[in-house]
Amino acid sequence: MAVSFRDAKRADVAALVALLADDSLGQARESGDLAPYLTAFDEIAANPMHQLIVGEIDGRIVATCQLTILAGLSRQGTKRALVEAVRVVTDLRGQRIGEALMAESEARARAAGARVIQLTTDKTRARAHGFYDRLGFTPSHIGYKKSL
């Protein structure tokens, strides 16, 4: 099963929202109103430091994540890559699609000059923690969030 990756298109937004909502955490925070997602997509698409990646198999969207390149002063001005909203469709999990998605993200991050790639994952996502461990990520920090 070969997955191919591309940049998301505005027409993909409904499918991407469905992916984001396809678990217990997502169901609680996503909605069926596409208007805010379309606005967000337009902002992402307008900023060259953001990439919304889509994975497809035979024309079906099966995976997504957002990659953001951040300039920073720490680590001698090192660029960082931030990966957010990593999702693979439920019926294809365990097929190495997530691994391919993260490899694509890393390749794009390197191409953009990033020397560190980082992400956060919800504390309740034990399977995701094991997945990121297997890919060589280190749980080196504690993440904090605050709703505004």
Model pLDDT for residues 25-69, shown as the tens digit of each residue: 766 677 788 899 999 999 999 999 999 999 999 999 999 999 999
pLDDT in tens, 98-108: 999 999 999 99
| Structure confidence at residue 31 (pLDDT) | 75
Please check whether residue 26 lies inside any domain of the structure.
yes
8 A C-beta contact, residue 79 and residue 72: yes
Range 69-93 average pLDDT: 95
Residue 145 lies in a domain: no
How many helices and strands, by DSSP H and E, does the chain display? 6, 5
- Beta pairing class for 4-7 and 50-57: antiparallel
pTM of the model: 0.92
Domain containing residue 52: CATH number: 3.40.630.30
What separation, in Å, do the N-terminal and C-terminal C-alpha atoms of the chain show? 41
Could you tell me the residue range of the domain that residue 27 belongs to?
4-134
Q: Is residue 61 part of a domain?
A: yes
Domain assignment present for residue 146? The answer is no
Q: Are 75 and 117 within 8 A, CB to CB?
A: no
Q: 105 with 5: CB under 8 angstroms?
A: no
Cα–Cα distance measured from residue 37 to residue 30, given in angstroms and rounded to the nearest whole number: 10
CB 47 within 8 A of CB 36: no
For residue 60, being part of any structural domain is answered with yes
> Does residue 57 form part of some domain?
yes
Count the domains in the chain. 1
Q: Using CB atoms within 10 A of its CB, is residue 47 exposed (0-12), middle (13-18) or buried (19+)?
A: exposed
Output the pLDDT for position 4. 98
